[in-house]
Structure 1
Amino acid sequence: MQRVIGTIIFIVVVFAIDLYVFQGFKVIVKKWLPSSYRGLARFLYWAIPVLLLAVIVVRAVWFSDSSKNSYFIFVNSALIGLFLAKFIWVFFMLTDDLIRLVRYTSNQLVKPPPAKHISRSDFIITAGFFTASTLFGSLVYGIAKGAHNYTIKKRKLPIKGLPKPFDGLRVVQISDIHSGSFWSKSSVQEGIKMINDLKPDLFFFTGDLVNNSADEFDGFKEMFSDIETKYGSYSVLGNHDYGDYVRWPNKEGVTKSENLMRLKKHHYDIGWNLLVNENHVLTIEGEELAILGVENWSAHRRFPKYGDLNKAINGVENIENKLLLSHDPSHWRAEILDKNPTIKATFSGHTHGMQFGIDSKYYKWSPVKYQYSEWVDIYEENNQYLYVNRGFGYLGYPGRFGFLPEITLFELQSV
C-alpha cells in the first residue's frame, strides 16, 4: 500500500511539472512548427508521459520485482529522463515568469514601446527547450553508447618500501557491477574478456555485486568465473549487497540474512576470496604483501558502517605494506589516511562518477563531487593512495555519459 501511495504522489508531482512546462512547449510549437503539425505535437507531449506513467503504475501494483526486467528499466529511464529535462526547463520558465512579473509591474507605471526583435520571453523559453533537449539527448546517448563502453585506465602506484618481488605486479580492479541492472549480457562478456586480456596478477572487486537481491547475479556467475589471475581474486561487499533497501522476506520467503548468505556464496562459487573484515598475505620470494578487505564503511550517515578495520588488520600488524579494499571512498580520510600509514593503497568505488558528467584529462565534474571530497580516480597524501573506480555497471539510469564503465590496471612500483 505504501508503494502505491508513493507512486500516486510521484504522479501528481510529475503532472504538475508537465502542466507548467506545457505553457512553454506551446510557445515552441507555435514558433517552430507549421499549424498542421501543432495539434499532433501537443498530443504527443501528453501521450508519451501518460503512457510511461501507466506502465509505472502497472509495475507498482502488479510487478513488485520488475526492476529485474529490462523493459521496465528502459521505461523507468525514459520517464526519469523526460522528468529531468522538463525540470531543467522549469528553471528557465521561472526566470521568464519573474521577468514577466517585473514587466507587468513596470507597465503599471510606464507603457514601453512595442519590441521589434525577438522578445526576451521567447528567447528564454527557447533556450530552456534546447538545454532540456540536449540533456535528454545526452541521457539517450549514454544508454545506447555509454552503458557498456568499457574503458581501461592504467595507473602506476609507486609504493615506498615495496619489496622488489612485488615490483611490476599487475592489479586489475573493477567495482559496482550491479548485475541486476545489466541489459546486455554479450556486452558484459566483452568487458570480462578485456579484463583477461590484461593478464592480471591480482584481481580486486570493490563491492556492489547486486542492486538488492542475490539472485540478480545468477545469470552472470559463469561469466565472472572466467576471470583468470596469477595470484588470486579478492572482493568485498558494498552497501547494496546487504539488501538494506528492500523489504524482507521477499515473495519467495527468502529472509535478509539468507539473501546475504547466498550473495557471499556467489563470491566463493566464482573463485573470489571474499574478505569480510579479513586479510590475506601474499608471499613472493619470501617477501610479504598484506591484502585487506572490509565490509562497507562510510563516513556518511545514510550509508552503513559494517566494516571493522581493526579486525581486518589483525595478524598482519607487522607487515609494512598493505593494500586495502573498501567500497566507500570516505573511509580513506576517516580511518586510513595518516592513522594507518602501512596501508599504502586503498581501492574503492561506490560513487560511479554519478554516471554523468565531464571526465577529461584536464577537468572532471559531476554532481557527486559535492558529496564526496574524493570521488573519482587517484588521490595521494603522505605516500598513501586512494583510487576511486568509476564502476563497471550502472544503477537506476541504465547508461553512462561522460563517466564510462571502468576497468583499471595498476602497476605496483617499488621506490
Structure 2
Amino acid sequence: MKSYSLFTIILLCLAIFVVDFLAFYWLQSITALIASTFLKNTINILFWFFTLGLIAAIITLKLRLDDIQPRRKQLLISSLYGLTISSFIPKIIFVIVMAVFYFTNYVFSENESHIVIPLIGLFVGFLPFFVIVYGIFKARYHFKVHHVSLKFKHLPPAFHGLKVVQISDLHLGSYNHKFHILERAIRKINQLEPDLLFFTGDLVNNYAWELRGWRKAFRHFSPKIDKYAVLGNHDYGDYSKWDSEEAKKENFNAIKTFYKENDFKLLLNETEIIEKENQNIAIVGVENWGNPPFKQYGNLQKALEGTEQIPFKILLSHDPSHWPEEVIEHTNIALTLSGHTHGMQAAFKLKNKEWSPIKYKYKHWAGLYEQNNQFLYVNRGLGWLGFPGRLGMRPEITLMELKKA
C-alpha cells in the first residue's frame, strides 16, 4: 500500500463508494420483496456501515502506515486487500448484471421482472463472492505440481533424465508462521525425488524476522544432489523504511545467512558447476534484474565468467523480464527459471488456455515459453502477497525432467 500515492488511494475509495451506491440502488429492488421494515433497515444500515468502515480503514491505514509495527502492518494490508476484493468485485458484477437485465429485458414480463431479475442479480453477485472466499481460505494453500518434460540437444548424456524441482515466491511473512502448511508442500516436493531443487527468489515480504521458526521446515528439503537459490526483489528490503542503511544491510545479510544455515547455495551473480561422469552442466544464478521501477542488481556477464566451455546452462533469474532483455539471442543459456509474477494470483483457465490480467504487464507471466531453442519457465509462486488468496492460479511446484534430444 505504501507504493500507492494518497491520490490513488482516494480514487480507489471513490470507486468503492460509487459502486456501492449503485449496488445499494439495485439492492432496493431485492429488499422491496421483504415484508419486515426492521429487517430492511437492518440490511441498509449494515450495508453502509461496512462500506464506510472499509473506506475509513483504507484511508487511515495509508495515513498511518509508517507508524504501524511491521508485523501488524502486513496483517492489516492483506486483510484489507481481502475485504476490498471480496466486496468490490461481487458488487460491480451485481450492478452490471442488474443494469443490463433491467434496461435490455426482453425475456421476462413486467411482473416477473420484479422478482426474477433481483434473484438473478443476487445469485451472480454471490457466486464470485464464494469463489473469492474459496480462493482465500482454500485455494491459496492448494499446492499443484506442474509436470514439464524438455529435450535439449546440448544436454550431456550423463544428465539425461535429470529431475529438477522449481519453487518460487514463498513470501514467508504471509504464512504468518503456519509452519505445517509449508511442511505439507515440502513433503510433496520430497515425494517427487528431485535431483536438484531451485528456489527463484522472494523468500520474504521485506524483513528477516519473517524467517524466525522456519529453519526446521527448510532443513526437510532433500534433493538428491543439491539446493540452489537466488534473490528476488522483495529480499533486498527496498520496500521498507529503515532507521539507517546499516539496519537495511543487517536485514539483507540475515536473509543471506538463512540460506547458508539451511544448506542452500545462494548464487549471487555466480555459477556452480555440477559434474557427473566427467560431464558438466552450469547452474547460473543472478541477483534480481527487472525493468524499472524494479532495480537491476543482477550481472549476467559476471555470472557467466568461466562457463564458455560448459555446453549446457540453467539460469536462475527471479524476474522473467530478464529473459528477453539479456538472455535470448545474447547467450547460449538453454533454460531460464523465473518467478515474480505470481500469475497475479488470479486467472481464468479453459482447457489448455490460461488468461490473467497480468499478461498486460508481463509478456512472460506463467508457464513455459520457447524462442530460438531457448526455454523460459515462469513459476506461479508457492506463497502469496497482498491479496490473501488465489483465484484460478494455484500455488505451484514445478517438476521438470530434462532429456537428451
TM-score, with normalisation over the residues of structure 2? 0.86
Residue type of the partner of 1:317? E
1:333 to 318, 321, 324: 324
Contact 2:135/2:389 (<8 A) preserved: yes
Contact 1:296/1:328 (<8 A) preserved: yes
Deviation of the 1:126 alpha carbon:
6.7
2:32 to 26, 30, 33: 30
Seen in structure 2, the aligned counterparts of structure 1 residues 247 and 169 have a Cα distance that, compared at 3 Å, is same
Residue 357 in structure 1 maps to residue 347 in structure 2: yes
Residue type of the partner of 1:406? E
Aligned to 2:237: 243
- Listed one character per residue, the Cα deviations across residues 300-344 of structure 1 (whole Å, up to 9, x for unaligned) are 322222211101101112211100001111211111112212x11
- Listed one character per residue, the Cα deviations across residues 265-306 of structure 1 (whole Å, up to 9, x for unaligned) are 1111111111111110001111010000111112x3222222
Residues in 1 aligned to 2:215 and 2:174: alpha-carbon distance in whole angstroms = 15
Residue 197 in structure 1 maps to residue 191 in structure 2: yes
Residues 351-390 of structure 1: pairs in structure 2 closer than 5 A: 351-390=341-380
Aligned to 2:154: 161
Aligned to 1:268: 260
Deviation of the 1:351 alpha carbon:
1.1
Aligned to 2:83: 78
Residues 297-336 of structure 1: pairs in structure 2 closer than 5 A: 297-298=289-290, 300-336=291-327
Residue 186 in structure 1 maps to residue 183 in structure 2: no
Residues in 1 aligned to 2:16 and 2:215: alpha-carbon distance in whole angstroms = 39
Residue type of the partner of 2:27? F
Residue type of the partner of 1:391? G
Structure 1 segments unaligned to the other structure (5+ residues): 101-114
Aligned to 1:19: 21
Seen in structure 2, the aligned counterparts of structure 1 residues 320 and 5 have a Cα distance that, compared at 3 Å, is closer
Deviation of the 1:243 alpha carbon:
1.5
Residues in 2 aligned to 1:169 and 1:377: alpha-carbon distance in whole angstroms = 19
Residues in 2 aligned to 1:364 and 1:96: alpha-carbon distance in whole angstroms = 29
Residues in 2 aligned to 1:4 and 1:359: alpha-carbon distance in whole angstroms = 30
Aligned to 1:40: 42
Deviation of the 1:256 alpha carbon:
1.9
Residues in 2 aligned to 1:137 and 1:154: alpha-carbon distance in whole angstroms = 30
Residue type of the partner of 1:138? V
Deviation of the 1:6 alpha carbon:
3.7
Residue 286 in structure 1 maps to residue 278 in structure 2: yes
Seen in structure 2, the aligned counterparts of structure 1 residues 182 and 232 have a Cα distance that, compared at 3 Å, is same
Give 3-state SS (helix, strand or coil) of 1:147's partner.
helix
Give 3-state SS (helix, strand or coil) of 1:375's partner.
coil
TM-score, with normalisation over the residues of structure 1? 0.84
Residues in 2 aligned to 1:334 and 1:57: alpha-carbon distance in whole angstroms = 39
Residue type of the partner of 2:303? A
Residue 213 in structure 1 maps to residue 207 in structure 2: yes
Residues 396-415 of structure 1: pairs in structure 2 closer than 5 A: 396-415=386-405
Deviation of the 1:227 alpha carbon:
0.5
- Listed one character per residue, the Cα deviations across residues 22-52 of structure 1 (whole Å, up to 9, x for unaligned) are 2222233224x44343222112212334455
Residue type of the partner of 1:270? N
Equivalent residue pairs, number:
393
Residues in 2 aligned to 1:26 and 1:246: alpha-carbon distance in whole angstroms = 45
Seen in structure 2, the aligned counterparts of structure 1 residues 361 and 303 have a Cα distance that, compared at 3 Å, is farther
Contact 2:26/2:95 (<8 A) preserved: no
Seen in structure 2, the aligned counterparts of structure 1 residues 200 and 54 have a Cα distance that, compared at 3 Å, is same
Structure 2 segments unaligned to the other structure (5+ residues): none
- Listed one character per residue, the Cα deviations across residues 225-246 of structure 1 (whole Å, up to 9, x for unaligned) are 2101222101111111112222
Give 3-state SS (helix, strand or coil) of 1:264's partner.
helix
Deviation of the 1:127 alpha carbon:
6.0
